[in-house]
Structure 1
Amino acid sequence: MPNSLEVVREKLQATAKNAHIVKKGSLVSDADGTYSVGPIVRRPFYEGGRAQFTLDRGPFRTAKAYYLACAQRELDCSRTLFVQSASPSYQKDLEDSSLQVERCVGLLSDLVNRCEGLDDDDPVLAPFSLDIHDIGLKNILVAPDDHTRIVAIVDWQFVNIHPLWCCARLPTWLRPSLSDGDEPTKSRLSTIFRAEIARLDGLDDSTFLHALDATEDARGTLDDLADYDAFRDAFLLLPALENM
C-alpha cells in the first residue's frame, strides 16, 4: 500500500500532466481528491485584518498580473484606513502616508512593467512550479524505525504556485543577513551547496541553479518588495524602489 507521500506525489504528477498548473496561486485539494490552483494564500493578502477586504487574490495567469495585483492591493488597503469620524490631525497623517503609498505603488507598478524575464520572455524559468518554502523540518514525518525514510509531508496550506525562477532559494542559514557577520563562511558553504546541486542534477547546466541565480536579479528583488506593507513599511519600501 503506498504511503501518504507517494499518494501526494502521484496526485501532483497527475495535476501537472493535466496542465492544471498554469496559474500563479495556491495549491488546493478539490472534492474529488485532485489538486488545482486557487486564490493565493500569502500573508500580505490576509494579515492585519486584510482577510475581510475585497482584493484580487487570483489565481493569476501570469507573474506580471500577480505583481500588479500586489501593487493594487497596497493601494486598496491604504484607502480603507480613512474614516469619517477620525480627528483632523489623524486624517492629515493618513493623507501624508497615503501620498507615500501612492508613490510606492506607482514605482512598484513601473518596476513590474519593465522587469524582464517574468513570463514568456524566459521560456526556461517562466513555467509555473510548486513553491514549498514554508515547509520546514517540523512538517516532514519519518518512519519511527528509520529516520531517513520520509513517510508523509503535512501542512500544505501555504504551498504556492510560482514561476520556476521564483521557487529556487538558498537554505535560510546560507542567505546573507544584516545581523550575521559570518559572510565568508556562508559564501564558502553556498559554493559547496551549489556544487552538490549540480552533482545531484547530473548536469553541467542545472535548471535549479539558473533559477537560483534569477532570484538574485531584478525579479528576485521585485518578489521581495511585493510582500511589503506600503503603509507601514513605506520608509523601507520607498527608498528601495527609488533605487531600482
Structure 2
Amino acid sequence: MSQRYVRFNVNELARIAVEAVGAKSCVSVEKYPDSMYNKAMLLTMDNGTRVVAKVPNPNAGKPHFTTASEVATMDFVRNVLGTPVPRVFAWSSTAQENPVGAEYIIMEKVPGIELEHVWSSMKIADRFTLVKAIAGFQKAWTSVSFKQFGGLYYANDLEKRAGNEPLYTDANGVDVTDAKFAIGPSTGRESIDYRRATIDFDRGPWKTLEDYHTAIGHREIACVSQLPRLPKSPITLCGPGTYQPTKERKLKALHCYLKLIKFLLPTDRSVTSSHLWHGDLHAANIFVNPSNHTEIVGLIDWQSTELSPLYYHARQPHIIDYDGPPVSGLERPRPPKDIEQLDTNAKKHAEALYLQQSLCSLFNILTHHQNPRLYAALEFQQTTSYLLLLLARNLLVDGEATYLSQVAELEATWDTLPNAKSSAYPFSFSRKERQEMEADVENVARGIEAMRSIRESIGELFPEQGIVRSDQYEDALDALEQMKCQVIEEFASNEQEREVWRKEWPFGT
C-alpha cells in the first residue's frame, strides 16, 4: 500500500489549476477512482472550464523522469504526430520544489465519453469506422522514427543530452533537429515493475538496436542478482509439484539471451527503428464524440511510454481483442457452414465470434495496404527470433524454463535465424540437461493450469495485479484461503512441502 500512497496539498493543486486556465476560483473537486499508478481529480472552475489533475503514486516510476517524459510525450504526440491528446496546462516533476508537495500534471478534460460506455452497443459498421481511425493514428506513429531508443523529454529536463543532432526522421524521410525535445532514460514499466526501480542499471538512451537489447539482458541480470527474493509469478503457481524458479536458472537463460541477440535481430530495417506509441489502446483510454461514436476526440494515459523498436509496438488495438480462434495474416473469417442449424445460443455465439474475427481481419488488411512497415513488424512477431527477444524482457519474473527449452530446440533450425547462416550454434546441452528442460516445461504447464483453475474458481474475487474491490476484500481472503488448502492437498506430499507452499503462496493469505 505504501507504493500507492502519496501525500499532497489539494488546495494548492486547485490554486495552480485556477491560474493555469485563467479562472477566478475552483468551485468543485471530484475524485476519480484510484488507478494502479496515479491519483486523479476532476476540477471545475467558476467559468465552467474543467481540467483533470493527476498525481503519480510512488510506484508510477522514477521521480522526475516519469512525469517529465509523460508531458513531453503528450506534447510531441499532439503537435507533431497530430494525434488528439489532452493539452497540458501546468505540471511539475519536482515534488520538493512546488507547493503541492508532489509531482502533478494539470491537463484538459477531454470533451467526450469513454468508448467503453458505447462500444458494445455500436453497430458493426461503426466499429469498422473506428478501427480505421485507430489504424490511421498508427500510420502517423509509424511514419516518424527516432534516432535513439529510450524516453522522450523536453531538452531542458535532462542533465545529459545529445548536442545539435537530428531527433527523428519525418514521414518524408527528412532528418529533423528539434532543440525543444531530447531522448533520455526509458520510463517503460519493464524498467520499474517488480522492484526493478530500486536497482541500478543502464536505463538509456541507446543509439543502436543491439545496445538496446543488450541493456535489457543486463537489466534483468542485475535485478535477478541483486533483489533479495525473486518476484512471484502472476501466471504460474510455483511450488513443490509444479515449477520452482531459481536465480541460477534465470541467469542461465539470460546469458543465453546475451549470446543470441546478434543472431536474432531482424535484417529488415523497416521494423527495427525507434517509435513512439500508445501501447494500451483499450476502451477506457479512448474518448469519442458523444453524438458521433466513430469520431475519436482523445487518447489518454501516455505515462511510461518508451521509444522502442517497431516490432515491440505492433499489435491490434486492445478493443478488438477477443477469446477464440485467432485470425492470422490476411485471412478472411467465415461463419460456420451449419450456422442456420445451430440452436439459438450457439448461433448467437457463432455470429458474435464471426464479427469479432471480422474486425481483426479488417485491421490486418488495412495495415497491410496502408501501413506496410507495421504489417512487416506483425509478421516478424510470428518468428522464433521475436519470441526469444520478447521472452527475455521479463525473465526476472517468468519464462526461463520456456526460454531455455526454446534455446535448445533452436539448434535444429539455427540456419533459419536472420543472422546465423555463417555461424555455428553457440551452445552445447547434454542429454541430461535437455531432459531437465523438458521436465521444467511440463512443471510450468502444471503451474499455469493451477493458476488458471484458481482464477476460474473464484471469478471476480481473484486479485488481478494484487488488487480486489474493497467491499470484496474479506470474501477474497476466504476464497484464496480455501484455494491454498486445495493446492496444498493436491501438490504437497509431505509436511516439508506443505510448509513450502504456505511460505511461497503468492496471494498473501
Aligned residue number for residue 147 of structure 2: 22
Aligned residue number for residue 79 of structure 2: 10
| Higher alpha-carbon Rg | 2
CA distance in 2, matches of 1:7, 1:124: 22
Shift of 1:222: 3.1
Task: Name the SS for the 2:271 alignment partner.
Answer: coil
- Pair 1:41 & 2:187 matched: yes
Q: How do 1:28-177 residues align onto structure 2 when only pairs under 5 Å count?
A: 28-29=153-154, 34-81=180-227, 97-117=246-266, 121-172=267-318
CA distance in 2, matches of 1:69, 1:48: 17
Give the letter for the 2:216 counterpart: C
Aligned residue number for residue 486 of structure 2: none
Shift of 1:73: 1.4
Aligned residue number for residue 183 of structure 1: 325
CA distance in 2, matches of 1:232, 1:214: 22
Assess if the C-alpha contact under 8 Å between 2:254 and 2:395 holds in 1: no
Give the letter for the 1:170 counterpart: Q
Assess if the C-alpha contact under 8 Å between 2:149 and 2:205 holds in 1: yes
Give the letter for the 2:151 counterpart: S
Change (3 A) 1:194 1:151: closer
Give the letter for the 1:102 counterpart: L
Change (3 A) 1:65 1:138: same
- Residues 91-139 of structure 1 show CA distances to partners (whole Å, capped at 9, x for unaligned) of xxxxx9332122111111122121142xxx4332222222322232222
CA distance in 2, matches of 1:53, 1:7: 30
CA distance in 2, matches of 1:73, 1:128: 19
Assess if the C-alpha contact under 8 Å between 2:261 and 2:389 holds in 1: no
Assess if the C-alpha contact under 8 Å between 2:285 and 2:301 holds in 1: yes
Assess if the C-alpha contact under 8 Å between 1:143 and 1:150 holds in 2: yes
Assess if the C-alpha contact under 8 Å between 1:67 and 1:112 holds in 2: yes
Assess if the C-alpha contact under 8 Å between 1:12 and 1:35 holds in 2: no
Give the letter for the 1:21 counterpart: F
Runs of 4+ more than 6 Å apart: 184-187
CA distance in 1, matches of 2:305, 2:393: 16
2:364 to 194, 202, 207: 194
CA distance in 2, matches of 1:185, 1:61: 36
Aligned residue number for residue 222 of structure 1: 388
Shift of 1:152: 2.4
CA distance in 2, matches of 1:149, 1:141: 9
Assess if the C-alpha contact under 8 Å between 1:21 and 1:36 holds in 2: no
TM-score by length of 1: 0.70
Change (3 A) 1:10 1:214: same
Assess if the C-alpha contact under 8 Å between 1:45 and 1:55 holds in 2: no
Shift of 1:12: 4.2
Shift of 1:148: 2.8
Give the letter for the 1:123 counterpart: R
Aligned residue number for residue 70 of structure 2: none
CA distance in 2, matches of 1:194, 1:209: 7
Give the letter for the 1:97 counterpart: T
Shift of 1:34: 4.5
Change (3 A) 1:139 1:170: closer
> Percentage identity across aligned positions?
24
Change (3 A) 1:134 1:35: farther
Shift of 1:144: 3.4
Give the letter for the 2:153 counterpart: V
Change (3 A) 1:221 1:20: closer
Assess if the C-alpha contact under 8 Å between 2:311 and 2:381 holds in 1: yes
Task: Name the SS for the 2:146 alignment partner.
Answer: coil
CA distance in 2, matches of 1:7, 1:67: 25
Change (3 A) 1:7 1:59: closer
- Residues 71-103 of structure 1 show CA distances to partners (whole Å, capped at 9, x for unaligned) of 1112111221459xxxxxxxxxxxx93321221
Assess if the C-alpha contact under 8 Å between 1:98 and 1:231 holds in 2: no
CA distance in 1, matches of 2:375, 2:327: 20
Give the letter for the 1:197 counterpart: T
